[in-house]
Structure 1
Amino acid sequence: MEITAAQFAQIEHCLPRQRGNVRLSNLQVLNAILYVAEHGCKWRGLPKRFGNWHTIYTRMSRWAKSGVLDRAFEQLQRAQVVQIKIEAVSLDSTSVKVHPDGTGAPKKNGPQAIGKSRGGWNTKIHLVAADARTAITFSLSPGQAHDAPEGRALLKRLGPPSRPLHLIMDRAYEGNETRQLALDLGFIPVVPPLSTRIEPWEYDRAMYKRRNEVERLFRRLKGYRRIFSRFEKLDLMFIAFISFALIADGLRLC
């Protein structure tokens, strides 16, 4: 499936304006990136009909460095949030296996969100979702990192909601510090206590059943093979693929 001209019109203003004699339009480049994201192929493996693979890779790299895809994701996300009535948000993470090609980033690029856990080299995607199809924000961490600290950082970046919202989390986030931060920001934490808690609390069990929505969103993301496995050495490019997948999914809803 490719992005249509009508769908492209919704984010066209977020992309750099093309000037001069340019062989590949932004729409052609987006559809080439979509092919790589869905099929997980190498850039050199792009079918000839998409044009020169190096041109496409270079343009995506330039967009990633300048934040073009991030802005397009934020623009589309705001439009989706306006269309739906948010009653709750979910916070969760998922692990992504790192392919051997994704390791060994040059030291000049600084530390990357790749770490070794019992399952080998992994990257974690932390995500706040409004429902099974709408991501609000996300971040990366090394695979061995605990969910709670990165979850708190993501909540701080998100900031307080305009009105009290339920914040659905699993037991990885049931610590006092995480729950207190949620309360301070104006969320209503919905998280089950550990069985070892001396004074367990009550929580909205009916609302907690909606935690499956963020899991379904992760399942949709991992339908893109370039996200199911991490091939990118740099966080910058992996984040760009995640943003792009969320953009493509959002455009398909329109």
Structure 2
Amino acid sequence: MEITTQQYKIIEDFLPLQRGNVKISNLQVLNAILYIAEHGCKWRGLPKKFGRWHSVYMRANRWAKQGVLGRVFLALQENNVINIQVDHISLDSTAVKVHPDGTGALKKNGPQSIGKSRAGWTTKIHMVAAGHNRAVVFSLSPGQAGDAPEGRKLLKSLENCGWDGAKVIMDKAYEGNETRQLVFDLGMEPVVPPKRNRLSTWKYDVEAYKKRNEVERLFRRLKGFRRIFSRFDKLDVIFTFFIHFALIVDTLISVNRP
């Protein structure tokens, strides 16, 4: 897979301008990052066709620390690259195993959403998706963190989105009173089945609930990138960089996807 010139033109204006005597273009850097993200290899393992690996690494590292791809991700949403009428959103999380490389490097300082769960050292990616091909917002937490508290943080970020009446599709991990009430307070409708041990239950839209697989399908595509399927990076800023990158690539591909 590679990012084509036509796809690159969609995001070209959102990337930093190249200054001075630069031999490697931004498109070459993006395709080099794509190779790293797909194959999960070390930066030193980049094929020579992408240019000097250290030059690619330095630009990618600078972009990560400056939040460049995060801004590109937001710009794609604001410019309606994918035109979706939001009548429902899905909330879910997925666990990512942390590779031994992601638990070392003691001198690296910064937020590290890595925790020990029954599966070992893991990170959770929490995400709100609108349809099967559009991530709205995501966050990271240590693997042992509960889904509902992190989910509420994401939902609160949608307070002024203007999606009144939209359905919020969630699994039973989010069926607590606090989460459901928050959805109501946001002017949206929770679609979540009650747990079996609930003394007082409620009815929910069964047909709408079938669409919960949309966010799971999005997670499945993201985990097609080896650098996301396993967490190799200790710092959240770098792991987030690769998630933003994968979402941008998925968006560019989805422009032509039915």
Q: Same fold (TM over 0.5)?
A: yes
Paired AA for residue 85 in structure 2:
K
RMSD: 1.3
Partner of 2:49: 49
Partner of 1:188: 189
Conserved 8 A contact 1:104-1:233:
yes
Q: Report the secondary structure of 2:195's partner residue.
A: coil
Conserved 8 A contact 2:87-2:166:
yes
| Unpaired runs of at least 5, structure 1 | none
Identity percentage over the alignment?
67
Conserved 8 A contact 2:110-2:236:
no
Partner of 1:74: 74
Partner deviation per Cα, 1:155-204 (whole Å, 9 max, x = no partner) = 11232431321000000000111111111111100000011110001100
Conserved 8 A contact 2:108-2:235:
no
Partner deviation per Cα, 1:212-247 (whole Å, 9 max, x = no partner) = 101100000000011000000110000000000010
- For the residues of structure 2 that align with 1:247 and 1:120, how far apart are their CA atoms? 29
| Unpaired runs of at least 5, structure 2 | none
Q: Return the offset for 1:78.
A: 3.1
Paired AA for residue 190 in structure 1:
V
TM-score (norm 2): 0.95
Partner of 1:34: 34
Partner of 2:232: 231
- For the residues of structure 1 that align with 2:208 and 2:103, how far apart are their CA atoms? 40
Instruction: Answer with 57-66 or 87-96: which moved more.
Output: 57-66
Q: Return the offset for 1:80.
A: 4.3
- For the residues of structure 2 that align with 1:19 and 1:111, how far apart are their CA atoms? 31
- For the residues of structure 2 that align with 1:180 and 1:2, how far apart are their CA atoms? 44
Conserved 8 A contact 2:111-2:236:
no
Instruction: Answer with 80-89 or 240-249: which moved more.
Output: 80-89
Partner of 2:158: 158
Partner of 1:170: 171
Q: Report the secondary structure of 2:130's partner residue.
A: strand
| 2:8 paired with 1:12 | no
Structure 1 residues 81 and 18, CA gap change in structure 2 (3 angstroms): closer
Partner of 1:135: 135
Conserved 8 A contact 2:115-2:121:
yes
Conserved 8 A contact 1:81-1:134:
no
Partner of 1:243: 244
Partner of 1:58: 58
